[in-house]
Amino acid sequence: MIHPIWNFKRALILASVCCIGLPQADAQDTMVEGRPKTAAELGIMKGTPPSRTVDISAWDKGPDNRWAFQHISEFLHVANISRGSGPAVPLETAFDDLSGLEFKGHDNETLTVAEMLVRTYTDGFIVLQDGDVIFEKYFNGMTPGTRHLLMSVSKSVTGTLAGILVNDGRLDPTAAITDYIPEMTGAPGFGDTTVRQVLDMTTSIVFSEDYADPDAEVVAHEATTAWRGETAPLAKEGVYAFATTIEKNPSRPHGQQFHYASINTDVLGWLIERASGQRFAEFFSDAIWSKLGVDHDGQITVDYKGAAAANGGFVLTLRDLARFAQMVLDDGFYNDQQIVSSGWIDDIRFNGNNSAWKPTSYAETWPNGFYRNQWYVTKDDHGSFFAVGVNGQHIWINPTTRTVIVKYSSLPVSADKDNIVLGWLAMDAISRSFSD
């Protein structure tokens, strides 16, 4: 049976998934028997010493990312995120093979979930319905104990963490960021912004996420987060110093329009550190990770000065991120405790600024939607909201059917919008299937 879904429009601006992609590797070199080759089949990091190593300048593109996304700590600096000493919360299972579930893809093409998982270079995929694991698959050598890079799904995790500080009064959304970061006083782009504008990415700054443009701000941004090695220009400066150099866009005031720019989340990470008085990884562990009952410690990449890449650097297992997403679905309550204020989850879901969304191309897909606290909110008929990262990382939450879906992928092109949207179509169809 083909389950009903709403009609996504293919016309999504590339910025909606964080960056512009680079050319894909030759398909003949990366495919076998109609599926992507695994990292092992590609021979990446095999041998002693390995004959094929990862290129630090392009580790996040195909085919190197088939290996790299599951081995971040082997070539980037990371901070550990302790799970604490408590027992893991068991995930109950009610398995149902969703592989054959059909849905409509692009151009009205009928696909199964299994076909989507192959086409979108899936590494791990899990579906929770009412808290139970319904469907769980691993590919490309990934296992339940393997950590995987979240890319910009990290932004939504960071925005959720900020809510704890807002709730206890240590971070005021209406305040100027200079109240917490005096180093931003006089900064051309961020010097006159508020915490709320950073949270919702309505800062009016000059920041391009076009990875194909060597002069784009995001290219320098990556270097300052230590994602391109020590010899990259600006690598020694660090991401916080870089944030103080961002220019203001004179064409509109702050707060008027949603403009996706990853540097906002790193400024939010800085605000979190100043408001909490702790380093980012330590505060995340104390406030959320050690309370969830996760199976494993997490990781987050850090720059050469130790600042966390809050915008894209979380490295977590599939099941543990599913626990986090279930906590969000359950209004911040999990493992018999209120971890994040229910008011903050309500703020994410209901208090966004649609007028800031309307001038952008995002409104072509979700006309009533908005971006709030680093989450995308569709305002569809099921109240779906989601997190997304380049190369196919996803959290999809459907409150109506109480469904959580997490997807890890290693798409060879960063902003492969067709395959990223295909993932959304499938996840929407899966979550809606539970209402039948």
Distance CA 338, CA 126 (A): 24
How confident is the model at residue 30, as a pLDDT?
86
Q: Is residue 214 part of a domain?
A: no
The total domain count for the chain is 1
The catalytic site residues sit at 152
How confident is the model at residue 415, as a pLDDT?
86
Q: Is residue 194 part of a domain?
A: no
- pLDDT > 70 fraction of the chain, expressed in percent and rounded: 93
Note down the domain range covering 427: 14-170+264-433
pTM of the model: 0.94
How confident is the model at residue 14, as a pLDDT?
32
Confidence tier at 28 by pLDDT (50, 70, 90): very low
3-state secondary structure of 334: strand
Per-residue model confidence as pLDDT tens digits over 225-247: 999 999 999 999 999 999 999 99
Q: Is residue 39 part of a domain?
A: yes
Distance CA 220, CA 200 (A): 22
DSSP H or E run through 218: helix 217-224
Whether pLDDT at 4 is above 50:
no
What token pair was written down for 228? Answer: 């391109």
Confidence tier at 365 by pLDDT (50, 70, 90): confident
Higher pLDDT, residue 14 or 308: 308
Closest CA to 63 of 42, 86, 85: 42
How confident is the model at residue 384, as a pLDDT?
98
Per-residue model confidence as pLDDT tens digits over 45-95: 999 999 999 999 999 999 999 999 999 999 999 999 999 999 999 999 999
How confident is the model at residue 6, as a pLDDT?
36
Q: Is residue 220 part of a domain?
A: no
How confident is the model at residue 361, as a pLDDT?
85
Q: Is residue 152 part of a domain?
A: yes
Whether pLDDT at 29 is above 80:
no
Helix%, strand%, coil% for the chain, nearest 5: 30, 20, 50
CATH code of the domain containing 396: 3.40.710.10
CB atoms within 10 A of CB 301: 23
Closest CA to 431 of 110, 4, 91: 4
How confident is the model at residue 212, as a pLDDT?
78
Per-residue model confidence as pLDDT tens digits over 296-341: 999 999 999 999 999 999 999 999 999 999 999 999 999 999 999 9
Q: Is residue 200 part of a domain?
A: no
Phi, psi values for residue 343, rounded to 5°: -65, -35
Q: Is residue 235 part of a domain?
A: no
- State the amino acid at position 396 in one-letter form: W
* Span 396-403, average pLDDT: 98
Q: Is residue 61 part of a domain?
A: yes
